[in-house]
Amino acid sequence: MTMLTKVKSSREAADAVYDYALPAGEGWMYELEPGQVLRLVDTEGNQAADTLFYDADNPEDHFSAIHTISAQKNVYLTTGSKLISESGKELLEIVADTVGRHDTLGGACSAQSNTVRYAHDRLPMHNCRDNFMLQLAKHGESFTKRDIAPNINFFMNVLVTPEGGLSFEDGISGPGHYVEMKAKCRTKVLISNCPQLNNPCSGFNPTSIRLLVWDQ
Amino acid sequence: MENLWNLTLGSGAKWSGIISKGKLIRIRALEDGANLSGLLFNAGNLTESYNMPDTLKAQHTSRLTRGNVLMSDNGRAMASIVEDDLDWHDPIGGYTTRQLTDEKYGKTTFQENQNEWFRSGEENLAMELMRNGLQFRDMVPVFNLFSKIKVDEFGDMHFIEGHCKQGDTVTLRTEMDVVLLLSNTPNPHDPRKDYPSVPVEIEVLPAESVKEDDYCVNYRPENKRAFENTWDYYKLVTQ
Ligand SMILES: [Zn+2]
């Protein structure tokens, strides 16, 4: 039903200055310089990359899902989407995307939200919010739990219906699909490669994502 | 039932305060086209706040109405919508920024316009966050009472005009001791040219204790588990 615009990138993996396969269920934090390009590859398909951004020169200024979708008056992200911070600063722009749509409303899974969504006994299961907290704790500085704002779920297909429903659909991503974004300023990137085993967002089989960075 | 407290929030006004659990917060639009932006924090632990994605995904909804629960990032029911004249309150439209307010309605200043100057949701909420020991970094997506934003099959967001009529009322029931932050500033998606903020009246009343057959508790199994998480929390923090 929805028209998906897919835009390929001309960048070659061999030219990347950074190339890393982030295992399923692990967190990652990295700082991009202005002009650097980050690519997330859904290596085996059906994976969710829960992602947050911070202005590295003012880490208290986090990514704002709502400013981002309000500015473009559309709830999905794809090529051309500008990723905006809470203060209104443009942090990055998506420059290539072979999926066509990424989620801004589903947020990151947590032990606590798993108890609500599935059952109280899911509390011990590994989750994205714990990954975010561990990475922020390791990166010290001034980060605290309050810096965990609603995030982007790259590769996830969360549909908003005209009746106001929210449905989690099977992935429209697939093996090798990717999204690429260019940093507009010094930007900290925080990723949790989702360990969710309770719903199809990772196909009940979380897999690695490949992270590539180019200088331009 | 006896009214404990009331307040009229005029155009552009803001308010924050602690409201303990077991109270009704009844909010009435005094004119057509109201929009009241709100945030909730746990009064006993400010690191816990209303969480838009957790609220929406647990209830499979992108609109808030009677039966829905405003959930925290710790999986707890903070407040529930127990009465509602409208079938849709907006959780995804966000708040107005200073820049958007100036661009859309014309630049105003206190010096020039005195208290008729146009307030922004960004500044109103920033001030109320600070007042409660929080900072702008604690800003998260707000809920916008009285507004409706429809998302079409392409993902485009459409503000529905004429949704809220004078006298429309929505009632929240506090399930936790909360800090409630309110900003009576326009919905950023409202296309009206003249600063669209109208007065709202807020009444606080005691709520009856939550019964087993409560509508919000039983609205979805997810809601019941969020309530159970809240009740469990209070077993530990109260005598
Ligand atoms: Zn997750």
Yes or no: say if A119 and A99 are a contact pair by the CB < 8 Å rule.
Answer: no
How many pairs of residues across A and B have Cβ atoms under 8 Å apart?
141
The pLDDT of residue A170 is 76
3-state secondary structure of A162: coil
Report chain A's mean pLDDT, rounded to a whole number.
94
Predicted confidence band at A52 (pLDDT cuts at 50, 70, 90)? very high
Yes or no: say if B136 and B126 are a contact pair by the CB < 8 Å rule.
Answer: yes
Give dist(CA B23, CA B1) in Å, integer. Answer: 11
DSSP result, A87-98? TS-EEEEEEEES
Opening angle at CA B145, ends B141 and B149, nearest 5: 75
SS (H, E, C) chain B: CCCCEEEEECCCCEEEEEECCCEEEEEEECCCCCCEEEEEEECCEEEEEECHHHHHHHHCECCECCCCEEEECCCCEEEEEEEECCCCEECCCCCCCHHHHHHHHCCCCHHHHHHHCCCCHHHHHHHHHHHCCCCHHHCCCCEEECCCEEECCCCEEEECCCCCCCCCEEEEEECCCEEEEEECCCCCCCCCCCCCCCCEEEEEEECCCCCCCCCCCCCCHHHHHHHHHHHHHHHHHCC
Yes or no: say if A136 and A143 are a contact pair by the CB < 8 Å rule.
Answer: yes
Predicted confidence band at A1 (pLDDT cuts at 50, 70, 90)? very low
Centre of ligand 1 from the C-alpha of residue A126, in Å: 9
Identity of the amino acid at A153: N
B53, B135, B139 ranked by CB distance to A105: nearest: B53
Opening angle at CA B13, ends B9 and B14, nearest 5: 95
- A65 contact B CB<8A: yes
The pLDDT of residue A168 is 84
Report the complex ipTM: 0.95
For residue B199, the Cα-to-chain-centroid distance in whole angstroms is: 15
Q: Could you read off the pLDDT of B168-189 as tens digits, one per residue?
A: 999 999 999 999 999 999 999 9
Owning domain of residue B126: 5-237
For residue B37, the Cα-to-chain-centroid distance in whole angstroms is: 5
Q: Could you read off the pLDDT of B146-166 as tens digits, one per residue?
A: 999 999 999 999 999 999 999
Predicted confidence band at B1 (pLDDT cuts at 50, 70, 90)? low
The pLDDT of residue A2 is 52
| Cβ–Cβ below 8 Å for B58 and A69 | no
| Cβ–Cβ below 8 Å for A164 and B62 | yes
CB contacts of A145 in chain B (<8 Å) are 47
User: Nearest to residue B39, comparing CAs of B50, B48, B29, B47?
Assistant: B50
For residue B201, the Cα-to-chain-centroid distance in whole angstroms is: 14
- A76 contact B CB<8A: yes
The pLDDT of residue A3 is 65
Q: Could you read off the pLDDT of A79-113 as tens digits, one per residue?
A: 999 999 999 999 999 999 999 999 999 999 999 99
Q: What percent of chain A has pLDDT over 90?
A: 89
Q: Tell me which of B90, B96, B140, B152 to substitute to probe the interface with A (most A C-beta atoms closer than 10 Å).
A: B140
Please, how many CA atoms are within 13 Å of residue A174, restricted to the half-sphere of its CB? 3
A158 vs chain B: nearest CA distance in angstroms?
A: 9
Q: What is the pTM of this model?
A: 0.96
The pLDDT of residue A32 is 98
3-state secondary structure of A184: coil
Mean pLDDT of B108-133: 97
CB contacts of A88 in chain B (<8 Å) are 97, 99
The pLDDT of residue A171 is 75
3-state secondary structure of A212: strand
- Asked if residue A25 has pLDDT above 90, the reply is yes
Opening angle at CA A136, ends A195 and A216, nearest 5: 85
Mean pLDDT of B103-115: 96
B75, B138, B156 ranked by CB distance to A115: nearest: B75
Mean pLDDT of A153-170: 92
Centre of ligand 1 from the C-alpha of residue A105, in Å: 13
3-state secondary structure of A167: strand
| Cβ–Cβ below 8 Å for B156 and A73 | yes
A66, A107, A114 ranked by CB distance to B92: nearest: A66
Mean pLDDT of A21-48: 97
- Count of structural domains within chain B: 1
Residue A124 CB neighbours (<10 A): 8
User: Residue A113 class from Cβ within 10 Å (0-12 exposed, 13-18 middle, 19+ buried)?
Assistant: buried
Contacts of A87 (CB under 8 A, 6+ apart): A55, A58, A61, B136
Predicted confidence band at A140 (pLDDT cuts at 50, 70, 90)? confident
CB contacts of B52 in chain A (<8 Å) are 66, 105, 107, 150
Beta-bridge mates of residue A16:
none
| Cβ–Cβ below 8 Å for B52 and A117 | no
Predicted confidence band at B89 (pLDDT cuts at 50, 70, 90)? very high
Using CA atoms, how far residue A179 sits from A67, A68, A73, in Å, is 20, 17, 21
Predicted confidence band at B239 (pLDDT cuts at 50, 70, 90)? low
